[in-house]
C-alpha cells in the first residue's frame, strides 16, 4: 500500500520524545450494483432502485510518536463516505503500542469476531458473506466496542474487545502459518445475556485458496459459508455458498478479479442472495 507522508517532524523539545509523523492512507471503490429486491439505499438517495451506481471511500489519518522508552503513542481518524447516504462519517481512536501489543480506545474498534468473516463476491460485495455471518454477533445492532487489545507473536494472535459503557465484550484467538489458518471468536451482549461463537478455517495451496466459516448465536441460531478462489496470472476466479437458519434461501455467487497493478483491481460478481439475484462490477484501489 502506498502511503502519502503529510508531515514528519523530529521533536527535540525534550529528551523524553523521539520522532513524530502523520500519515494518510486508505482505499476506495466505484462501480455499478444490482439487487432484484432493491439496493436498500437510504431515503437520502431516493427510492429503492434495483440498479444504481456506487462508490465508497475510506481514508485514515494517523499521527504517531515514539518515546525514548520504545512505546508508540498515536491517534487515528477514519473518514468514510459512500453512495448509500448523503452524510460523511468519521470515527476515531487513540492507541499505545509496545511489546505488549496495541491498546486502542475510541469509536472505531470493531468487536473481536468482526476480524474473521468470510470473503464476499464482487468488487464491493453482493452479500453472500452477510448470510454466512448472520450469527457472528450476539447483538448485530451493537458491533463496536470502545476498548480493544491486539497482540500477536509469530503465527499466534489474540484480540480482546470491550464496551466500557454496556459491558459487552469479545474475545478471539488465531493461528496462521500462511498455508493454514484457524480463528475462534466469542461475542457477548451484556444487556440481553446472549452470546455468539464463530470459527473460520483458511487454507492456501498453490493457486488455490479457501475458507470455511461457521457461527452460532442465541438470537439467530446457526449460519455458515464456504469460499474458494483460484489465481492464475493477474486473474482470480472465486465462488461462495452460504446459508443461515434464519435465511429464507441459501446464498451463492461466482466472480472474477483482474489485477491492474499498483493496488488497483477490476472485479465483478453475480449470484443469488437469499433468493434474489444480485450483481456488481467495478474497480477497487488502495493508496
pTM metric for this prediction: 0.88
**pLDDT at residue 242 in the model:** 98
> What pLDDT, on the 0 to 100 scale, is given for residue 108?
65
Q: Domains in the chain, ordered, with CATH?
A: 4-286 (2.40.160.10)
Q: What is the pLDDT of residue 8?
A: 34
State the cell numbers at 105: 480506545
The percentage of the chain sitting over the pLDDT mark of 90, rounded to a whole number, equals 76
Q: Could you report the per-residue pLDDT of 30-60, keeping only the tens digit for each?
A: 999 999 998 877 665 566 789 999 999 999 9
Q: 204: closest CA among 232, 228, 188, 240?
A: 228
pLDDT, position 47: 65
Q: Residues 222-229: what's their mean pLDDT?
A: 98
Which residues neighbour 203 within 8 Å (Cβ) at sequence distance 6 or greater?
A: 179, 180, 181, 209, 210, 211
Residue 170 has pLDDT above 70, yes or no: yes
Distances (CA, A) of 23 to 51, 65, 102: 36, 12, 18
Residues 98-120 have a mean pLDDT of 89
> Whole-angstrom Cα distance, residue 85 to residue 116?
27
Q: What average pLDDT does range 6-10 have in this prediction?
A: 34
The residue-averaged pLDDT of 192-200 equals: 95
Which residues does 215 contact at the CB level (< 8 Å), separation at least 6? Answer: 113, 132, 133, 134, 135, 136, 196, 197, 198, 199, 222, 223, 224
Q: How many other CB atoms sit within 10 Å of the CB of residue 122?
A: 28
Handedness of CA 70, 93, 54, 113 (dihedral sign): positive
Q: Is the pLDDT of residue 13 over 50?
A: no
**Residue 110 pLDDT:** 78
How much is the pLDDT for 4?
34
The pLDDT assigned to 14 comes to 37
- pLDDT for residue 12 is more than 90: no
Per-residue pLDDT band at 200 (split at 50, 70, 90): very high
Among 136-140, 194-198, 206-210, where is mean pLDDT lowest?
136-140
Answer whether 44's CB lies under 8 Å from 85's CB.
yes
Higher pLDDT, 203 or 114: 203
pLDDT greater at residue 166 or residue 198: 198
Q: Using the predicted structure, report yes or no on whether residue 162 has a pLDDT greater than 60.
A: yes
Amino acid at each position: 500500500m502506498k502511503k502519502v507522508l503529510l508531515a514528519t517532524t523530529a521533536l527535540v523539545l525534550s529528551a523524553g520524545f523521539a520522532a513524530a509523523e502523520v500519515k494518510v492512507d486508505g482505499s476506495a471503490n466505484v462501480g455499478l450494483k444490482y439487487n432484484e429486491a432493491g439496493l436498500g439505499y437510504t431515503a437520502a438517495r431516493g427510492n429503492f432502485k434495483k440498479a444504481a451506481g456506487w462508490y465508497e471511500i475510506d481514508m485514515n489519518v494517523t499521527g504517531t510518536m515514539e518515546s525514548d522508552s520504545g512505546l508508540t503513542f498515536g491517534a487515528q481518524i477514519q473518514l468514510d463516505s459512500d453512495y448509500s447516504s448523503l452524510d460523511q462519517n468519521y470515527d476515531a481512536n487513540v492507541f499505545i503500542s509496545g511489546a505488549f501489543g496495541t491498546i486502542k480506545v475510541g469509536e472505531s474498534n470493531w468487536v473481536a469476531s468482526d476480524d474473521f468473516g468470510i470473503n464476499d463476491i464482487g468488487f464491493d460485495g453482493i452479500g453472500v458473506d452477510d448470510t454466512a455471518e448472520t450469527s457472528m454477533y450476539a447483538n448485530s445492532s451493537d458491533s463496536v466496542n470502545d476498548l480493544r487489545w491486539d497482540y500477536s507473536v509469530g503465527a499466534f494472535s489474540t484480540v480482546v474487545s470491550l464496551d466500557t459503557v454496556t459491558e459487552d465484550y469479545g474475545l478471539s484467538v488465531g493461528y496462521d502459518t500462511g498455508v493454514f489458518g484457524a480463528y475462534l471468536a466469542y461475542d457477548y451482549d451484556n444487556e440481553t445475556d446472549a452470546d455468539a461463537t464463530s470459527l473460520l478455517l483458511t487454507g492456501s495451496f498453490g493457486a488455490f485458496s479457501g475458507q470455511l466459516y461457521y457461527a452460532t448465536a442465541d438470537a439467530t441460531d446457526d449460519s455458515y459459508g464456504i469460499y474458494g478462489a483460484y489465481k492464475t496470472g493477474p486473474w482470480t476466479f472465486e465462488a461462495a455458498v452460504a446459508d443461515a437458519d434464519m435465511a429464507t434461501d441459501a446464498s451463492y455467487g461466482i466472480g472474477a478479479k483482474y489485477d491492474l497493478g499498483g493496488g488497483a483491481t477490476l472485479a465483478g460478481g453475480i449470484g443469488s442472495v437469499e433468493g434474489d439475484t444480485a450483481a456488481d462490477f467495478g474497480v477497487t484501489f488502495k493508496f
